[in-house]
Amino acid sequence: MLFGGLFSAYIFLRLDASPGDWPHGLLNVPVGTMNTAILIASSVTVVLAWAALKMRQFAKYKVYMGITILCGVIFLVVKLAYEWPQKFDHFGAFIKEDALEKYEPYLGNKHLLEKGLPPRKEITGHLHNKEALNHPNVKEYEIALDPVNADPTNPVNDRPHFFYVPPTKKIATIEKADVKYANMFIPRHSAYFASYFTITGLHGLHVLGGVLVFVYFWLPIGANMYKQNPEHLANRVEVAGLFWHFVDLIWIFVFPLFYLL
């Protein structure tokens, strides 16, 4: 129900976004796919750990549970040490409606209109003059453009890329007066990133909780419990596993909604 509320917030924000306001292709799809695979694999190993306990194979249980814990940790490390920081280092500026024409060489909206695709309103890339973010005397942003803005009429950029392509060497200068809103890719950048960070953050906390419980069962405490009553540990692992599968289940929806669509 907690995630249900957040997903409904997502639906509301997305339905209400006017064409071109909901960004696409800003996340790293191969990394997201890999994380999905890791989480699914960990769901399998936790069932196998439980099955090993049921069959009274404690050594196997230790191995499967160890793999599960490792998968959970890798998932979190990828998220916190790679994906999020990469976003925090990326920049986007939404152009005012009446200035869209001026930045047409970076947006390629005539080309998109001909193809019947939604317009582009944002210019993204690597911000060279970071002081522009909070210094009122700096009147413009200098951006090393993302490929989509460096070559906006190229058909390969009509749709998001599968592989992440870093910003090009092409520099664009955007006047602050023409910008509706600009920021790094942090929650306040847009409704998209606000919901992305909220939902993946809360999901990450659930992953962390699951990992902690599994570590507890994996430590000697688990072995002692097993010696006293193996069925006891098996049932605990089953229940913790239920929670873990639920975390996997949420991710199965999060992944396409944020990374792919």
- Contacts with another protein, residue ranges (CB under 8 A): 1, 4-5, 7-8, 11-12, 15-16, 29, 33, 36-37, 40-41, 43-44, 47-48, 51, 54-59, 159, 162, 220, 223-224, 226-227, 229-232, 241-242, 245-246, 248-249, 252-253, 255-257, 260-261
Q: How far is the CB of 34 from another protein (least distance, A)?
A: 10
Q: How far is the CB of 193 from another protein (least distance, A)?
A: 19
Q: Among residues 15 and 177, whose Cβ is nearest to another protein?
A: 15
Q: Among residues 61 and 185, whose Cβ is nearest to another protein?
A: 61
Q: How far is the CB of 171 from another protein (least distance, A)?
A: 30
Q: Among residues 105 and 256, whose Cβ is nearest to another protein?
A: 256
Q: Among residues 33 and 183, whose Cβ is nearest to another protein?
A: 33
Q: How far is the CB of 47 from another protein (least distance, A)?
A: 5
Short-list 233, 243, 235, CA closest to 212: 243
CA 231 to chain centre: 38
Q: Measured between alpha carbons, how far is 106 from 104 in angstroms, rounded to an integer?
A: 5
User: Which residues are CB-contacts of 156 (< 8 A; sequence separation ≥ 6)?
Assistant: none
Beta strands 140-145 and 91-95: pairing type? Answer: unpaired
Q: Measured between alpha carbons, how far is 228 from 26 in angstroms, rounded to an integer?
A: 52
Q: Among residues 57 and 198, whose Cβ is nearest to another protein?
A: 57
With vertex at residue 237, the alpha carbon angle to CA 233 and CA 240, rounded to the nearest 5 degrees, is 140
Q: How far is the CB of 91 from another protein (least distance, A)?
A: 25
Tokens at 58, concatenated: 């404690």
As to burial, measured by CB atoms within 10 angstroms (0-12 exposed, 13-18 middle, 19+ buried), residue 92 is: buried
